[in-house]
């Protein structure tokens, strides 16, 4: 009888112990999650609240704006109307879409070639593609500027698009190659046995299987192109070709920084990126995780 009672007490103790361990783990996980959210959202919240204040009252008011309507009209009006950031937004959109289209059109089949075909110096060529992206971008500013000047592409969208292709094409080739590697080569061989050419096997059999990877690569390329600053800053001098990140930088002067207008312009610049991530997040997640497992 005593042994039975002791056994029940021990089981009860073990159950309570596991329960409190689970509770502690949950609290730790929630605390880490809230800390991460705070680190991510605090700067964005500060930027949005600052954009609702007049420029001359950014530091004289409390954290919450006392005249939000007046501040919003002044700050967002300066960004959209006075500075004409809507033109910069259009430039960014055109450049990002064009760059993404060209990069995906080149990188998707290139990744397939590197994953399926063996030819002389194939590994060296693939390594060269990756190494070209390992150079610090700031070290390429002078030759890039000289080339764009020689080609008469300064202050043009075309000049910026060329830089975007250079920046993101190696990344897409590397990413897509990893996705193709997860697809068994037996599928290509079966398609060829059925009468498909190499291109038809790629187009009708392999490409549909890696569409999550194509979608993820395209979305990330668009986001990277949208926020790229350095090369766009070097070659663009006015709103004819200025992208949104470069236009936002114009609020940082030699004497003062227009914090409210700068925050308003920054808020406007991240809205499209946030919408893209929110709408296509399932494609990003499925695409990035889909190429993580090799079969």
- Pair 121, 39 in one domain: no
152 lies in some domain: yes
Residue 295 in any domain: the answer is no
24, 55, 71 — which closes off a domain?
A: 71
What is the tally of structural domains in the chain?
A: 2
> Could you give the CA distance from residue 53 to residue 33 in angstroms, rounded to a whole number?
30
- Give how far the C-alpha of residue 108 lies from the chain's centroid of Cα atoms, to the nearest Å: 18
91 pLDDT above the threshold of 80? yes
The pLDDT assigned to 102 comes to: 96
> Three-state DSSP class for 113?
helix
Quick check: 211 and 122 in contact, CB under 8 A? no
- Residue 254 CB: number of other CB atoms within 10 A? 4
Confidence of residue 13 (pLDDT cuts 50, 70, 90): low
Give 25 or 94, the one with higher predicted confidence.
94
Predicted local distance difference test score (pLDDT) of residue 293? 43
How much of the chain, in percent, has pLDDT values that exceed 70? 79
pLDDT at 1: 47
pLDDT of 100: 94
Residue 199 half-sphere exposure toward CB, CA atoms < 13 A: 0
- Burial (CB < 10 A; 0-12, 13-18, 19+), residue 109, is middle
Residue 22: pLDDT band with limits 50, 70, 90: low
User: Which structural domain range is residue 204 located in?
Assistant: 76-290
In-domain check, residue 262: yes
Query: What pTM value is reported for the model?
Result: 0.79
Specify whether 143 is located in the same domain as 234: yes
Decide if 104 is inside a domain. yes
**Which residues have C-beta within 8 Å of that of residue 272, sequence separation ≥ 6?**
89, 93, 226
Q: Which two tokens stand for residue 171?
A: 């990344």
What's the whole-number average pLDDT of the chain?
Answer: 80
Q: What is the pLDDT of residue 172?
A: 92
- The interaxial angle of helices 259-290 and 2-50, nearest 10 deg, is 140
100 plus 59 within the same structural domain: no
Look at residue 161 in the predicted model and tell me its pLDDT: 94
Q: Is residue 221 part of a domain?
A: yes
SS3 183: coil
- Mean per-residue pLDDT for 76-85? 74
155 and 217 part of one domain: yes
**Do residues 150 and 229 share a domain?**
yes
Q: Comparing 239 with 114, which gets the higher pLDDT?
A: 114
Q: How many angstroms separate the CA atoms of 149 and 155, rounded? A: 9
Cα 86 to its chain centre, rounded Å, is 21
Angle at 80 (CA atoms; ends 76, 86), nearest 5 degrees: 140
The reply to whether 249 falls in a domain is yes
* CATH number of the domain that residue 254 is part of: 1.10.3720.10
6-15, 97-106, 231-240: least confident range: 6-15
* CA contacts within 13 A on the Cβ side of 160: 34
Give the containing element (helix H, strand E) for 43: helix 2-50
Among candidate residues 71, 88, 107, the one where a domain is terminated: 71
Please check whether residues 106 and 196 belong to one and the same domain.
yes
Average pLDDT over residues 59-82: 70
pLDDT at 150: 92
- Shared domain for 41 and 97, answered yes or no, is no
13 with 64, same domain: the answer is yes
Last residue within a domain, chosen from 16, 43, 71: 71
Neighbours of 80 (CB within 10 A): 15
Same domain, 158 and 188: yes
CA–CA dist 272, 11 (Å, integer): 56
| Residue 185, domain member (yes or no) | yes
Spatial distance between the Cα atoms of 159 and 144, rounded to a whole number of angstroms: 9
Task: Answer yes or no: do 171 and 222 share one domain.
Answer: yes
User: Residue 183: what pLDDT?
Assistant: 85
- Same domain for 101 and 38: no
User: Is the pLDDT at 222 greater than 80, yes or no?
Assistant: yes
Q: How far is it, in rounded angstroms, from Cα 286 to Cα 292?
A: 10
- Residue 55 tokens read as 């420029």
Nearest to residue 136, comparing CAs of 175, 180, 167? Answer: 167
- Can you tell me the mean pLDDT for 142-153? 92
Contact present, 149 and 213 (Cβ < 8 Å): no
Question: Same domain for 174 and 211?
Answer: yes
* pLDDT tens track for 248-295: 888 777 677 778 788 888 888 888 888 888 887 777 666 555 544 444
- pLDDT tens figures, 95-146: 999 999 999 999 999 999 888 888 888 788 888 888 887 888 888 899 999 9
Task: For 49-69, write each residue's pLDDT tens digit.
Answer: 888 877 676 776 566 676 666
For residue 35, tell me if it sits in a domain.
Answer: yes
């Amino acid at each position: 009888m005593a042994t039975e009672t002791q056994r029940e007490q021990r089981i009860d103790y073990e159950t309570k112990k596991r329960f409190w361990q689970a509770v502690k783990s949950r609290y730790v996980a929630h605390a880490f999650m809230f800390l991460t959210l705070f680190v991510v959202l605090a700067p964005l919240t500060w930027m949005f609240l600052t954009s609702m204040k007049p420029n001359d009252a950014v530091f004289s008011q409390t954290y919450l704006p006392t005249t939000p309507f007046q501040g919003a009209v002044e700050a967002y009006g300066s960004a959209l109307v006075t500075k004409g950031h809507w033109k910069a937004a259009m430039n960014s959109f055109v450049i990002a879409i064009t760059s993404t289209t060209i990069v995906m059109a080149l990188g998707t089949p290139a990744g397939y070639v590197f994953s399926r075909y063996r030819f002389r110096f194939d590994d060296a060529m693939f390594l060269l593609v990756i190494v070209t992206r390992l150079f610090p971008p700031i070290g390429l500013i002078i030759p890039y500027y000289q080339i764009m000047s020689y080609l008469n592409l300064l202050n043009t969208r075309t000049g910026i698009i060329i830089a975007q292709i250079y920046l993101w094409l190696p990344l897409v080739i590397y990413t897509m190659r990893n996705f193709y590697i997860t697809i068994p080569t037996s599928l290509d061989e079966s398609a060829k046995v059925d009468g498909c050419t190499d291109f038809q096997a790629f187009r009708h059999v392999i490409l549909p299987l890696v569409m999550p990877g194509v979608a993820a690569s395209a979305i990330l390329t668009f986001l990277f192109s949208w926020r790229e600053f350095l090369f766009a800053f070097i070659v663009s001098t006015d709103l004819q070709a200025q992208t949104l990140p470069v236009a936002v930088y114009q609020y940082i002067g030699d004497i003062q920084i227009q914090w409210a207008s700068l925050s308003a312009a920054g808020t406007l610049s991240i809205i499209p990126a946030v919408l893209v991530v929110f709408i296509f997040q399932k494609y990003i997640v499925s695409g990035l995780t889909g190429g993580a497992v090799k079969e």
